[in-house]
Amino acid sequence: MTEPQEARAELASTEEAGEGLYTARLLISYRGRRYTVEARRLIRRPAAASARQQGDYLLIELYDDQGKPVATCCIHRGHLEKGCLDCPSLLNPPRESQ
């Protein structure tokens, strides 16, 4: 029996952002919750996304239409578990509320 995947990412849309850059809108599923995240200032148009967990991080990998890597977004799992993706940096663990 296979274990259900805790994290998934799919590319919802891409748009040209000017100056030859692109913005990707990603749909992320993590432990039953769904989030929408934007990856901005990409130098190539992404065509696909995948997600994998590595330690305390969720790595969202973006690929172009030839399967070449475009970018990797790193999100500390603490942000996903708290349901807060509005922090200035998703790379660092979230601060404990005081």
* pTM of this structure: 0.80
pLDDT tens digits for range 13-33: 999 999 999 999 999 998 888
pLDDT tens digits for range 30-50: 888 899 989 999 999 999 999
pLDDT tens digits for range 69-83: 999 999 888 888 887
Strand, coil or helix: 82: helix
- Scan for tokens 């979230």, then name that residue: 94
Could you tell me if 10 and 34 are in contact, meaning their C-beta atoms sit under 8 angstroms apart?
Answer: no
Q: Which residues pair with 11 in a beta bridge?
A: 26
- Show the 3-state SS of 22-58: EEEEEEEEECCEEEEEEEEEECCCCCEEEEEEECCEE
d(C-alpha 48, C-alpha 39), whole Å: 13
